Every structure is written in structure tokens, then in C-alpha cells.
């Protein structure tokens, strides 16, 4: 029987090292640790990220910092270093149990001198106690007796792709433990980790404490006979200056509190916590094993990235699982990942939206710097909510040129995307406290930005947004991107309705908020007036929306004519060349129709879907494309189109279809996949009035079951493939 809860690797393929490190990441919403081997392997990325711990660097401005390596474990077998790059690997398998995030690796290895050892490695990052993680190594010599040595501690010399962020503050070691205290170089965030090692063996175990600077290490040794098992357990605690004033004491105290409990005790609570997660979040697909495993894999990665106890952090585009985009958060969170949390783990959605609330100062600063009012959210956001999009990056082909990245300057739709997510959360949760204390301020301050950014076009008699980048980033410096314009229109109108609601339901708090942000009645009138006159580029005859002004004049190149290819249209045409053709990186008009179906006459939907579908680079364009395309195809296209794009999103990281999964999980694709199942095939749609379900299951699906939370109540949906309805 196929195990639909386990991601497995049946043999060791060094060329997939980086990809599988991403896939086999363990985490708990506080930290994420890539699936590097305990004993190290050439070219591995031994990486642990902790939410919110950013530090400065050139070009990218800020990045998540790679923590001291808690996985490290040198194993010396009768004098020989265990090393997969040497000797002979007789068997190897690796499994990630999605039910509980347990990563297991079992292997048999014959050393260069011919000694054979059976080994099993297990690890998990506790979901019940996010400051704790645990690993276990179980070794059995098969055909020799000899000394088994372990060396393991905390390596503070870790770097981020060669760049070092840590300054040393202190360390120590006593008995079976050691600890390390560091601080990030620029952002001055302290971090402390503590470790306890315990070795069980039939023979006596000797431990030495090697207190080497920045790398305190415990060296344990014992003797073993053939068939005798030696087991090492390593418990780790971890705290940062973001969690507590004194992270070193906290880490040492936490480690001490775990004494005597170790793996088994930690494991029970951890597994229980995971059980509860899956009770709330699981999606059951019958009749399609690949889809079943993929949706659980993607949900797993969303769950280990979602901050449970911290409302000052966001999820980076590549979660906590790789260096891509350096941990920066984009609209990927609000538009792609957040719906999953909003509908299954609203507490986490609230934390993520609160991050935006707490970072309003940075967004206000950005608006002011650009000469606008209100709050303009950064396109890329890291620790403090300031804009961290790289402005210039080296041109890999010509050292005398640099490439200017414009998204941080003019991809302004993110402010509406965040407002949309706040509205969606509010609509689904009716979390009044959030709306009143935080959400409203986000929505109103970003609305104010739109009003100041809009320009009056005297000739045409309407408001417009010039010089922007829409979701389709193949085209930059465009005027009146339909997505941007109509999201802004909706946003300005939303602001008005939020104000009315606040006044009606919380008049005193509303008055305080309006005073705080200096919001007057004439602001609202002006917003209304702008919203009513924003340029809306719909051809009244055909119903076709022009993605931006002049888009239809760009060269209409057939995507098919580019096949076969294994790179994006932009890399084929070049940045300038891609600007000149109609091929788009990802759904843009279709994205608008997805988020705001009410903004366009229903009769016009199909013509737009068809026109843009054949011009969208769904294979090598944005990884954000396929899931949304799948949803829109479910509504407007063919079942084949829907499933093709769904499965493309499902494979994004499992199959590494874009060749960059080594940089980390495509978080937006993971969140989009959940939306494709629930909003696409499941057909869930919501409005202020409530939710509706219009399922359209792929023909071969026998069953689709999921849960969602609607205003505090859990709704169970269980759809049968044959009749395609009913819950």
C-alpha cells in the first residue's frame, strides 16, 4: 500500500543534495533546519533559520541569518571518519513523516577499511516546545568491534553563502552540555543555544569537553562489538534576543528543564501537537495519490513556516528552508499563503497580519520618502518592515553593467494585496478585535497612499496610476495596470465601508483611530471620488481588459513557437525584449478576476481568461502562476487545463520543476496549491454574506475532504467524486 503521509528517498543522489535539503526541512514555525546530513557532505547547506533574525549585507540589504549548526555530528568508527563521500554506501533511504515532521535516514556503510555499520538518524524540531529540537543517531557495527567516537556541539562559524553574521559573546561546556552565545553583527540580535549529548552503549562512555572558541564541542567515545547498538541523543535549546532579554539563561534553563526527558518525552508532546494540526488542516484526496501526497507535503511546509507565537515576523517567499530571496516576504504571504492560515489556522493568520500592522511605521516612512501620504508597504520586507528590495544587482554576463531592480520602487499593488488579506481574514473570522485595533488602520492608511498616488488625467477625465509594475513582472514601467487600478479602486471603496462599519459598531474606538491617523470626512469623500473615477481599461465591445496601457500594441508572439524550452520567456528574450512582447510571467488580469470577481462583468470573464491564458508563461514564468491558473481554469477553462496547472504547482518543489527548489520551498506555490484544491476544485467562495461551495472535482478524484473555519466554527467538507457535491 502506498504511504500517503511520507516523502521518501530510496537512494542517495548527490546531484539532488540541495533540492532534497529543501524538501526534507524540519521546522516548527519558530525555526527551520534544512535537511543536511548530520555528518556533513561536500557542498551541503547546513542551515537553520529563526524567524525574525535578520542582519545586514551588501546588495540584498538584509537576510535571515544562518544559526549555529546544531545538526553537526562527527562519527569515528574504529578510527575511521564516517563520510558518504568515501567508502561504500550499501543501502540508503530517507523518509519525512508528514504526520509529525520526523526525518529518518537509515543506511549501511562500509568504510574504506571494510568495516560495515548500520545507522539510523532521526530528528525533529519540537512543535510543542518551539525552542527545542532533538536528534538521534543509532549505530550498529556489523562486522567489527572497536571504538565508536562522536564529536558534536554548536558550530558558531556558520555563514550565509560565505557571508558571516555572528559576533561571539560567550560559550561554555560542562558535563554533557555546552552552550554558545552570539550576536548578529549589524542588527545586534542576540542568540543562544545549548546542547546536551547522551550516549547509550553496552560499554562505558567517556566524555570530554572541548571548549574551542566559537565551537564548543562534546567528544564522547565508547566501545562496541558486532551487533551491539550505540545510540546518541542530542537535545538542543534555542532562544534569541527577540524572545527574551537574556537568551543565554533562557536556553540553559530550557535545556535543564528537559533533563531526563530527552527524546521520548519531547516526542510525545510534539507528536500530539502535530496530530492537532492535521486534525484542523488535513486535506484528503482519494483517487489521486500524487495529489494527496503533494497537498500534504505543501501543507506541511506551510505549517512549519507559520509563526505561532510571534506577531512581529512574516514568512519569506522561500519560507525558512533556503536562501532564495534571503528570507524577504512579498505579497506571496498575503495573497498566496495567508488564505490557508485564515481558513484553517486563523491564529497564525492573525500573527502574520499583525506583522504588517506593527510595520506600519516603515510603510509610512516609505510613502513619505516617495512623496506620498499614508502607508506604502515595501515590496520586499524583512525584520523591520522597511523596503529591502535590492536596487542594483550585478549583471552576470557583463561586469561593466548592473541591473536595476524596479519592483521595490513601483510594484505598488502590494499595499492593496495586504488590505485584501486583512479584509479576507476579517470576513472569514469576524475577529472584531483585530479589525478595530489593527486591520482598520492597515486598510485606511494604505487607502490614503492610493489616494495620494493617483494622478488626475485631465484629458481623459479620470484617475490613473502611472509607472507601475503589475503581477506580471515581464513588463515594467507601465501605466494603468488593470490589476493595480482595480485593486486600488476596490481598496478605496473597502476603506469607506470599513469606516462606516467602525462608526456603527465601535464609535468611540473609531473616533480615537480617526484622530490618531488624522482621518477626516473630506478624506473619505475624496477617496470615494477617486475610486469612482479610476481608469478601467475594459473594451466595452469585446469585454477584453488591456493588462496595461499599450499592452495590445506589444508584439504578439506565440508561446508555442518558443517550445521546446527550459527557461523563461524573459531569459529567452532578455529583460528589454520580454518587455516588448505580450507574453506574461503569470496571471495578471486573471489574478484580478480571481481575487475580485465582482469587479468585472461576468459575461466578460471567459474572453479575458482565454486571451491571457495562451499568453501566460506557466512553465518557466513565475511559480505563482500555475495554482491561480488552475483555479481560473476550473471556473472558466477546461478540466484538462485546470488539472495540468494544479499538478504543475503540486510538483514545484517535490519534482524541482524549475530547478531552483534548492533555494527553498516556493511558499506561494504551496499556499496556491491549497487554494487550487479548496477554492478551485472545492469551489469555496466567500463574501460578506457567507460562503458558497461549487465543487468541480477532477474526473479521477473519488473524494475530496477538507475543513475550514468560518467565524469561529469548523466547517467539514467531504465531497464525493461521482456526484461532485455535498458535505
Q: Is 721 in the site for a second copy (CB under 8 A)?
A: no
DSSP per-residue string spanning 485-504: HHHHHHHHHHHHHHHHHHHH
- 549 close to 478: Cβ distance less than 8 angstroms: yes
Segment interacting with a second copy, rule: CB under 8 A, options 25-33, 56-64, 561-569, 633-641: 56-64
Least distance from a second copy to the Cβ atom of residue 197, Å? 14
Sort 574 into a burial class: Cβ within 10 Å, 0-12 / 13-18 / 19+: exposed
Q: Is 366 in the site for a second copy (CB under 8 A)?
A: no
CA dihedral angle for residue 251, residue 255, residue 257, residue 259, rounded to 10 degrees: -170
Contacts of 291 (CB under 8 A, 6+ apart): 285, 646, 647, 650, 677, 701
392 vs 456 by CB, closer to a second copy: 392
Q: Is 399 in the site for a second copy (CB under 8 A)?
A: yes
208 vs 289 by CB, closer to a second copy: 208
The span from the CA of 490 to the CA of 435, in Å, is 18
Least distance from a second copy to the Cβ atom of residue 400, Å? 5
Contacts of 443 (CB under 8 A, 6+ apart): 419, 422, 423, 491, 494, 495, 498
**What track of x and - describes contact with a second copy for positions 408 through 427 (by CB under 8 A)?**
-x------------------
Least distance from a second copy to the Cβ atom of residue 399, Å? 5
Task: Give me 327's grid cell.
Answer: 528570507
Least distance from a second copy to the Cβ atom of residue 63, Å? 12
Least distance from a second copy to the Cβ atom of residue 44, Å? 12
Task: Give me 116's grid cell.
Answer: 560495515
Residues in the interface with a second copy (CB under 8 A) total: 35
Least distance from a second copy to the Cβ atom of residue 232, Å? 16
DSSP-derived 3-state class of residue 288: coil
Least distance from a second copy to the Cβ atom of residue 49, Å? 18
Residue 6's CB: how many other CB atoms inside 10 A? 16
391 vs 528 by CB, closer to a second copy: 391
221 vs 547 by CB, closer to a second copy: 221
Segment interacting with a second copy, rule: CB under 8 A, options 269-277, 285-293, 390-398, 600-608: 390-398
Q: Which of 155, 445, 472, 599 binds a second copy (CB under 8 A)?
A: 155
Q: Is 391 in the site for a second copy (CB under 8 A)?
A: yes
**What track of x and - describes contact with a second copy for positions 199 through 228 (by CB under 8 A)?**
---------x-xxxxxx-x-x---------
Smallest Cα–Cα separation from 335: which of 674, 683, 616? 674
The enclosing H or E element of 239 equals: strand 230-240
Q: Which of 394, 550, 712, 726 binds a second copy (CB under 8 A)?
A: 394
367 vs 647 by CB, closer to a second copy: 367
Q: Which of 392, 539, 542, 712 binds a second copy (CB under 8 A)?
A: 392
Q: Is 252 in the site for a second copy (CB under 8 A)?
A: no
Q: Which of 163, 501, 552, 710 binds a second copy (CB under 8 A)?
A: 163
The span from the CA of 694 to the CA of 268, in Å, is 40
The span from the CA of 484 to the CA of 19, in Å, is 35
The span from the CA of 702 to the CA of 292, in Å, is 12
Smallest Cα–Cα separation from 449: which of 424, 415, 419? 415
55 vs 617 by CB, closer to a second copy: 55
409 vs 653 by CB, closer to a second copy: 409
Strands (E), 47-176: 48-50, 54-57, 61-64, 74-77, 80-81, 88-97, 102-110, 116-125, 132-141, 146-153, 166-174
135 vs 524 by CB, closer to a second copy: 135
What's the longest Cα–Cα distance across the chain?
Answer: 90
Torsion sign, CA atoms 258, 260, 265, 266 = positive
Segment interacting with a second copy, rule: CB under 8 A, options 140-148, 315-323, 396-404, 515-523: 396-404
394 vs 574 by CB, closer to a second copy: 394
Q: Is 151 in the site for a second copy (CB under 8 A)?
A: yes
DSSP-derived 3-state class of residue 184: strand
Torsion sign, CA atoms 539, 544, 546, 551 = negative
Q: Cα 434 to chain center, whole Å?
A: 23
Q: Which of 3, 86, 143, 159 binds a second copy (CB under 8 A)?
A: 159
- 133 close to 236: Cβ distance less than 8 angstroms: yes
Least distance from a second copy to the Cβ atom of residue 58, Å? 7
Least distance from a second copy to the Cβ atom of residue 40, Å? 8
- Residue 497 sits at φ, ψ, to 5 deg, of -70, -30
Site for a second copy in 185-204 (CB under 8 A): 185
- 201 close to 193: Cβ distance less than 8 angstroms: no
Strands (E), 265-395: 284-286, 392-394
The span from the CA of 332 to the CA of 319, in Å, is 10
Task: Give me 385's grid cell.
Answer: 518592515
The span from the CA of 1 to the CA of 404, in Å, is 53
Least distance from a second copy to the Cβ atom of residue 409, Å? 7
Site for a second copy in 59-98 (CB under 8 A): 59, 61, 72, 74
398 vs 723 by CB, closer to a second copy: 398
Q: Which of 90, 113, 402, 725 binds a second copy (CB under 8 A)?
A: 402
The span from the CA of 432 to the CA of 371, in Å, is 33
Least distance from a second copy to the Cβ atom of residue 223, Å? 19
Q: Is 164 in the site for a second copy (CB under 8 A)?
A: yes
**What track of x and - describes contact with a second copy for positions 449 through 488 (by CB under 8 A)?**
----------------------------------------
Least distance from a second copy to the Cβ atom of residue 328, Å? 15
208 vs 556 by CB, closer to a second copy: 208
- Residue 180 sits at φ, ψ, to 5 deg, of -145, 140
- 648 close to 626: Cβ distance less than 8 angstroms: yes
Q: State the catalytic residues.
A: 473
43 vs 260 by CB, closer to a second copy: 43
Query: Which residues sit at the interface with a second copy, rule CB under 8 A?
Result: 40, 42, 57-59, 61, 72, 74, 151, 153, 155, 157, 159, 162-165, 167, 185, 208, 210-215, 217, 219, 391-392, 394, 399-400, 402, 409
Amino acid at each position: 500500500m502506498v504511504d500517503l503521509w511520507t516523502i521518501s528517498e530510496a537512494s542517495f543522489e548527490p546531484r539532488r543534495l540541495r533540492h532534497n535539503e529543501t524538501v526534507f526541512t524540519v521546522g516548527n514555525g519558530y525555526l527551520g533546519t534544512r535537511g543536511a546530513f548530520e555528518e556533513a557532505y561536500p557542498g551541503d547547506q547546513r542551515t537553520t533559520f529563526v524567524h525574525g533574525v535578520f542582519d545586514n549585507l551588501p546588495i540584498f540589504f538584509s537576510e535571515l541569518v544562518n544559526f549555529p549548526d546544531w545538526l553537526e555530528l562527527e562519527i569515528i568508527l574504529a578510527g575511521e571518519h564516517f563520510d558518504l563521500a568515501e567508502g561504500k554506501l550499501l543501502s540508503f533511504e530517507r523518509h519525512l513523516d508528514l504526520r509529525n515532521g520526523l526525518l529518518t535516514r537509515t543506511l549501511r556503510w562500509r568504510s574504506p577499511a571494510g568495516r560495515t555499520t548500520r545507522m539510523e538518524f532521526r530528528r525533529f524540531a519540537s512543535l510543542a516546545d518551539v525552542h527545542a529540537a532533538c536528534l538521534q543517531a543509532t549505530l550498529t557495527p556489523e562486522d567489527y568491534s572497536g571504538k565508536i567516537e562522536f564529536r558534536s556541539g554548536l558550530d558558531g562559524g556558520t555563514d550565509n553563502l560565505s557571508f558571516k553574521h555572528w559576533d561571539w559573546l560567550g560559550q561554555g561546556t560542562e558535563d554533557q552540555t555546552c552552550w554558545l552565545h552570539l550576536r548578529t553583527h549589524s542588527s545586534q540580535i542576540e542568540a543562544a543555544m545549548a546542547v546536551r549529548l547522551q550516549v547509550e552503549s553496552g560499554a562505558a562512555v567517556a566524555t570530554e569537553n572541548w571548549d574551542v572558541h566559537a565551537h564548543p564541542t562534546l567528544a564522547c567515545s565508547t566501545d562496541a562489538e558486532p551487533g551491539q547498538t550505540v545510540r546518541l541523543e542530542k537535545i538542543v535549546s534555542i532562544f534569541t534576543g527577540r524572545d527574551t532579554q537574556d537568551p543565554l539563561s533562557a536556553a540553559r534553563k530550557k535545556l535543564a528543564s528537559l533533563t531526563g526527558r530527552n527524546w521520548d518525552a519531547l516526542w510525545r508532546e510534539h507528536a500530539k501537537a502535530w496530530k492537532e494540526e492535521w486534525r484542523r488542516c488535513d486535506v484528503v484526496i482519494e483517487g489521486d495519490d500524487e495529489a494527496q501526497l503533494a497537498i500534504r507535503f505543501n501543507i506541511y511546509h506551510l505549517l512549519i513556516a507559520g509563526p505561532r507565537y510571534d506577531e512581529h515576523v512574516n514568512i519569506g517567499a522561500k519560507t525558512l528552508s533556503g536562501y532564495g530571496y534571503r528570507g524577504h516576504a512579498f505579497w506571496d504571504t498575503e495573497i498566496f499563503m495567508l488564505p490557508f492560515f485564515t481558513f484553517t489556522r486563523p491564529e497564525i493568520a492573525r500573527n502574520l497580519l499583525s506583522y504588517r500592522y506593527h510595520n506600519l511605521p516603515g510603510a509610512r516612512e516609505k510613502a513619505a520618502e516617495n512623496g506620498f501620504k499614508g502607508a506604502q508597504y515595501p515590496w520586499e520586507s524583512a525584520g523591520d518592515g522597511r523596503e529591502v528590495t535590492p536596487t542594483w544587482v550585478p549583471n552576470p554576463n557583463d561586469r561593466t553593467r548592473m541591473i536595476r531592480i524596479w519592483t521595490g520602487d513601483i510594484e505598488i499593488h502590494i499595499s492593496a494585496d495586504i488590505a485584501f488579506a486583512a479584509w479576507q481574514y476579517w470576513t472569514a473570522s469576524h475577529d472584531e478585535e483585530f479589525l478595530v485595533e489593527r486591520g482598520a488602520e492597515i486598510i485606511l492608511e494604505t487607502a490614503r497612499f492610493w489616494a495620494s498616488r493617483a494622478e488626475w488625467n485631465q484629458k481623459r477625465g479620470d484617475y490613473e496610476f502611472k509607472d507601475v509594475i503589475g503581477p506580471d513582472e515581464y513588463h515594467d514601467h507601465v501605466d494603468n495596470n488593470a490589476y493595480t487600478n482595480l485593486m486600488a479602486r476596490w481598496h478605496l471603496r473597502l476603506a469607506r465601508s470599513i469606516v462606516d462599519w467602525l462608526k456603527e459598531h465601535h464609535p468611540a474606538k473609531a473616533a480615537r483611530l480617526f484622530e490618531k491617523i488624522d482621518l477626516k470626512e473630506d478624506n473619505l469623500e475624496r477617496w470615494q471620488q477617486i475610486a469612482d473615477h479610476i481608469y478601467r481599461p475594459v473594451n466595452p465591445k469585446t469585454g477584453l481588459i488591456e493588462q496595461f496601457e499599450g499592452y495590445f500594441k506589444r508584439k504578439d508572439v506565440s508561446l508555442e513557437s518558443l517550445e521546446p524550452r527550459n527557461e523563461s520567456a524573459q531569459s529567452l528574450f532578455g529583460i528589454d525584449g520580454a518587455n516588448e512582447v505580450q507574453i506574461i510571467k503569470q496571471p495578471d488580469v486573471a489574478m484580478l478576476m480571481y481575487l475580485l470577481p465582482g469587479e468585472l462583468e461576468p459575461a466578460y470573464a471567459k474572453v479575458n481568461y482565454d486571451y491571457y491564458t495562451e499568453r501566460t508563461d506557466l512553465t518557466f514564468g513565475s511559480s505563482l502562476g500555475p495554482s491561480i491558473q488552475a483555479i481560473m481554469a476550473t471556473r472558466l477553462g477546461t478540466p484538462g487545463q485546470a488539472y495540468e496547472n494544479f499538478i504543475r504547482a503540486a510538483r514545484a518543489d517535490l519534482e524541482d520543476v524549475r530547478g531552483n527548489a534548492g533555494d527553498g520551498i516556493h511558499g506561494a506555490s504551496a499556499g496556491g496549491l491549497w487554494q487550487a484544491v479548496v477554492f478551485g476544485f472545492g469551489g469555496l467562495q466567500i463574501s460578506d454574506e457567507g460562503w458558497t461551495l461549487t465543487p468541480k472535482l477532477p474526473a479521477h478524484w473519488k473524494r475530496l475532504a477538507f475543513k475550514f473555519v468560518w467565524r469561529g466554527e469548523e466547517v467539514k467538507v467531504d465531497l464525493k467524486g461521482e456526484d461532485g457535491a455535498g458535505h
